[in-house]
Amino acid sequence: MAFSMMLRRPVCSGPIMQQVMRLATQPAVKPNLTQNTIQSLKSTLLKTETTPIMNSVRSFRTSAVRFAEGKSGDHSKLWVVERVASAALLPLIPLALIAPSKILDSALAIIMVAHSFWGLEAIAVDYVRASIFGPVIPKIAIGLVYLVSIATLGGLFYIITHDVGLANSIRQFWSIKAGQKA
């Protein structure tokens, strides 16, 4: 976070750059450097055409302003819910395998799909940006995340209700011997 805060600041306003500019504008010790030479060097270095990196650093933002202003929700609550769901998976997975039931299988399916949905959604939002792919492809990516999550939850509920259940399916899969062929 400190790095991103540093990148948000204008390049020429930091204490190091102020010191460099102060040193650059002081009278030269050597007789061959004049004040005009220092001023021309300073103006050359600060030109927009010669410093594209400085301009890109000045415009760097870690989040879009329009997203911050447009949404009025408290995202820290979602962060807490995501962490609680992740922590709930730790005891729920062994519990569901030890004592299989439809209730534990359903809770495990819902929390696993929610956990994977939040992860896939974060990947789609972070890496499939409108600034890179245009306005349509990010919407398709989010739609695919929803579609995959709904299909996964539906498939897991089908296994829970019409087959042996989620925990028993995992147990049966683990009990398959490596040398057996179907």
Q: Which long-range contacts (CB under 8 A, 24 or more apart) does 121-125 make?
A: 121/145
Cβ contacts of 159 within 8 Å, gap of 6 or more: 165, 166, 169
With a pLDDT cut of 90, the percent of the chain lying above it is 49
Would the pLDDT of 1 be above 50?
Answer: no
Binding site, annotated residues for a ubiquinone? 127
Q: Which tens digit of pLDDT belongs to each residue from 41-78?
A: 666 656 555 445 544 444 444 444 444 445 556 678 88
Q: Which tens digit of pLDDT belongs to each residue from 117-129?
A: 999 999 999 999 9
Are 167 and 100 contacting, i.e. CB atoms less than 8 angstroms apart?
yes
- If one compares 13 and 133, the residue with the highest pLDDT of the two is 133
How much is the pLDDT for 162?
Answer: 95
How much is the pLDDT for 165?
Answer: 92
Binding site, annotated residues? 115, 127
Q: Which tens digit of pLDDT belongs to each residue from 6-27?
A: 445 555 455 655 665 566 566 5
Would the pLDDT of 5 be above 50?
Answer: no
Binding site, annotated residues for heme b? 115
Would the pLDDT of 180 be above 60?
Answer: yes
The number of beta carbons lying within 10 Å of the beta carbon of residue 166 is 23
Name the token pair of 130.
């409108």
For tokens 């870690």, what's the residue?
62
- If one compares 38 and 50, the residue with the highest pLDDT of the two is 38
Give this prediction's pTM: 0.57
Q: Mind listing the domains of the chain with CATH numbers?
A: 2-58 (no CATH), 73-175 (1.20.1300.10)
First vs last C-alpha separation in the chain? 54
